[in-house]
Amino acid sequence: MRCLVFSSANVHRATLREQPTLTRLDNLAVIFFELLLDPVAYTALEVAQVNLTANATEIIQQQYFRNNLDQRKVPVYDLHPAGNLQQSGSDALALLFAVPLAPRIPFATVQLTVELTFADQRVYTLTQQINATQRPLVIGAPLRGGGWYCTGNSIHHHHQRVMYMTETGETIVPQRFALDLVQYQTMVKLPNNMRDGIQNKDLRTFGQAVLAVKDAHVVDLQQDLPDKRPFENPDSTNLQAAVGNYLILATTTGHFVLYAHLMRNSICVNKGDWVQKGAVIAAIGNSGNSTQPHLHLQVSETAAPILESNGLPFVFDCYRHKAHVIKMSSPITTQVIKFL
């Protein structure tokens, strides 16, 4: 869906990227969407107002002024045939939005309206109908036990700030709903001069068992890359190298589950194998673009090329946060959870 946006004497294009997506975070329904703009239009943009209505009743109205919009702005990279990301030659950019609604949405359809107000006081409107009955993929525990610190599914996290454009003009956000999991008790945030000598084996996360989250087929894997030393800066703009050792499962629902940064030679299944939910399939490592051992988990539209398809929402069937048992939801960044 497209709408022309006029700024000064020029004509610029603003687009609501793809279909806005509904998922559940911390037991709340949340709508994710992205607005694509060119830099000239963005420079003239002063206010973006987001309205959500259903059955002629307003559910949410939020205004985002310039300082807030700047925090939501991300560049759109070009994806080259070799799998390398480079700054887009068109200098396209995107604004990221995650709008929380309520624990339950008693409507089948919600209308999203975005009003853009520019410096010349012109107002332009983008609208999109959202299917409020859509449900994210429900998965089981990828890890055992508790103490798992969650990060990644915030619009300010680097996962969602990697958006790129293919040669056909399609925009891709592969890590849109991705989650990183690391043992909270052993998260190490030391000054640079105190990090010498720390090895992966010193960190409790390293080597923890990784579990199949669904009954699924193993469709792709890689496990011969070395584990990096903790705290080395990521150095690759190549998507294949960035994920390190990985495993991809294809579920019977047509989803693809990616496990990334796995320990070298820890994958204990083969391509083509059928695995059952809860089975041990690998161990957490520190391979690829990783600064310390952790599990990167995401659900995608397709299996290959790796990280070259849009990320899809997912929720865990059950986990505990503090004293609360949460069902059919995904934790939010900074929460420490226990898988049940």
Each residue of 72-88: pLDDT tens digit? 998 888 776 555 656 55
Shared domain check, 331 and 228 = yes
**Residue pointed to by tokens 């294009």:** 13
Same domain, 36 and 119: yes
DSSP 8-class letter at 70? H
Return the pLDDT at 7. Answer: 38
Neighbours of 255 (CB within 10 A): 20
Q: 306 and 163 in one domain?
A: yes
80 in the same domain as 150: no
Q: Is 242 helix (H, G, I), strand (E, B) or coil?
A: helix
**Per-residue pLDDT tens digits for 131-190:** 988 889 999 999 999 999 999 887 777 777 778 877 777 888 888 899 999 998 655 555
Number of domains in the chain: 2
Average pLDDT, the chain: 86
Q: pLDDT tens digits, residue range 29-51?
A: 999 999 988 888 888 899 999 99
Whether the predicted pLDDT of 8 surpasses 60: no
Same domain, 224 and 121: no
pLDDT at 64 over 70: yes
* pTM value > 0.75: yes
Residue 127, CA distances (Å) to 3, 17, 102, 255 in order: 9, 12, 21, 28
Query: Which of residues 83, 102, 131 is at a domain's end?
Result: 131
Report pLDDT for 11: 43
Q: pLDDT tens digit string along 178-225?
A: 999 999 865 555 556 666 778 899 889 999 999 999 999 999 999 999
Whether 196 and 317 share a structural domain: yes
Residues 197 and 234: beta-carbon distance below 8 Å: no
Q: Is 170 found in the same domain as 113?
A: no
Domain that holds residue 88: 2-131
* pLDDT for 235 beyond 70: no
Nearest Cα to Cα of residue 327 among 318, 336, 337, 340: 318
Whole-angstrom distance, CA of residue 2 vs CA of residue 129: 14
Last residue of a domain, one of 110, 131, 152: 131
Please tell me whether residues 318 and 189 are part of one structural domain. yes
Angle at 84 between CA 78 and CA 87, to 5 degrees: 35
Distances (CA, A) of 70 to 63, 122, 314, 320: 13, 20, 28, 35
Q: Is the pLDDT of residue 128 over 60?
A: yes
Omega prior to 305 cis, within 30 of 0: yes
Domain stops at, among 107, 131, 155: 131
What pLDDT band is residue 246 in, cutting at 50, 70 and 90? very high
